[in-house]
A and B are shown apart, each in its own frame.
Chain A
Amino acid sequence: MTCDEAEILLHALIDGELDAGHAREVEAHIAGCAACAAELAAYRKMTQEVAKADLRYTAPPALRMKIDASLPKPLPKPIPRSMSNAQGQSRRSILQGFAMGSALSALAATGLVAVVLRADDEQRIMSEVVSAHLRSLQAGHLTDVVSTDQHTVKPWFNGRLDVSPPVIDLTSKGFTLVGGRLDYIDARAIGAVVYRRRQHVINLFVSQTTNMEKRPAKTETIQGFNIRRWSDRGLNYWAISDIGADELNEFGDKFEAAVQTNTEG
């Protein structure tokens, strides 16, 4: 990749618009190019500053009323502005625009936007998880470090990631540890711990999250793969495989139980 290409694509990287493959290319270029790295840092900073400042305008109440009046059937009465603070800060200031709406439309809108955003984000990440899983199944892509020994796999991640994914040998529970790999999801390096169940590969992707809350497991099927997703102690997990949902859940349960024992014992 040339600097000229990177110069355009780094914006898409900042905006989270790049797929894993392109993100990887841009990041690879930036890792080796001080000028582009400085550009990226500067634009990131500017974007953060812009997001931090509230640059939106609020439509004057008179305008709202005028438009309202031009539509037959008046709305329920407007909610006071102060209620808008209750919404908390979601991604940037995206919800602030709805603060002045009628109670009805404000609720509808925030609900809608929250759902759309989450679906968007989560859907995108889910499909990246599927792509990463598919990539890993191609010859030679499954593992960067091959070992059935958790004490070999775990240290391998050190210095390669900003998190240390729990690596747990579940061989005695019917899931064989095969190794580990670096992958890219959502434009970020992410750890993949690889297990096998009979002939089936299970990729367990682990990434950091700022949210320390425990999120119980949810299982979904995408393109014929089962994905079990959960969060615990500041880590997001996605286990993906072509084994049945019940077996994948068994894997997840055993893994979570083992993590629990490890941290407590």
Chain B
Amino acid sequence: MPPSNFDDPDRTRRFRDQALPYLDDVYTLARYLLRDASDAEDAVQECYLRALKHFDGYRGPAMKPWLFAILRNVCHAEYARRANAAVPSLDDLPEPAQQTPLWREEQQTPEAEILRERDAATIRRLVEALAEPFKETFVLREINNLSYREIADAVGAPVGTVMSRLARARAMLRSAWMAEQEPPK
């Protein structure tokens, strides 16, 4: 079933060498965006097919942000499918039920502010629960290790927007983290 432009071996090899190393990165982002392992797999596969198809026209940005940009489009489509036509785009809102409480007024003393260590599973859950577009910004920065410029390329937003989203994302995560900390024994 591979389309005809798949058959240039040199091109395919270049694509393979450049894009395949980022498979785990792309899959990681897909898991956070879609919160479902099998949807993430489908999205990643679709992402690589589309990337190969457009590889000829690819002139940059760097491979990683480029793949993320494609994955994001695929995930848009998946959101749309889930919503059965009516439209939450990645740039406005996700499932509202999952929204983290927004920033909390900072009245605590520095002592009270200390974040307790959490295990990876807990942090992962807190990150997954962040609202978009803050979650993707956070994941791209803290988990996929992109620079601000690369994030801007991947999400198609100005760097300033990336900065304010990241500040917001961290504030949200911190609130959730602190809330989690109050031991509900």
Contacts and interface: CB of A to CB of B under 8 A. Distances in A.
A38 B113 CA distance: 8
A141 interface: no
Contacts of B31: 57
A42 B174 contact: yes
A167 interface: no
B interface, size bucket: 35 or more
A53 B120 contact: yes
Contacts of B99: none
A104 B7 contact: no
A15 interface: yes
Given A42-B113, A57-B27, A72-B6, A92 B16 contact: no
Nearest to B25: A97
Contacts of A68: 20
A118 to B, nearest CB: 14
A249 B20 CA distance: 44
A67 interface: yes
A71 B19 CA distance: 12
Given A46-B115, A63-B44, A73 B174 contact: no
Looking at chain A's contact residues, is the secondary structure mostly helix, strand, loop, or mixed? Answer: helix
Given A11-B166, A47-B142, A51-B142, A72 B7 contact: yes
Interface residues of A, number: 55
Given A42-B174, A56-B28, A15 B16 contact: no
Contacts of B148: 12, 15, 17
Contacts of B37: 60
Contacts of B147: 17, 120
Nearest to A10: B167
Interface of B: 2, 6-7, 9, 12-13, 15-17, 20-28, 31, 37, 40-41, 44-45, 48-49, 52, 106, 110, 113-115, 117-120, 123-124, 127, 141-143, 145, 147-148, 163-164, 166-167, 170, 173-174, 177
15 contacts: A8-B164, A38-B113, A41-B113, A42-B174, A46-B177, A49-B118, A50-B142, A59-B27, A63-B23, A64-B23, A67-B20, A67-B48, A73-B9, A100-B23, A101-B20
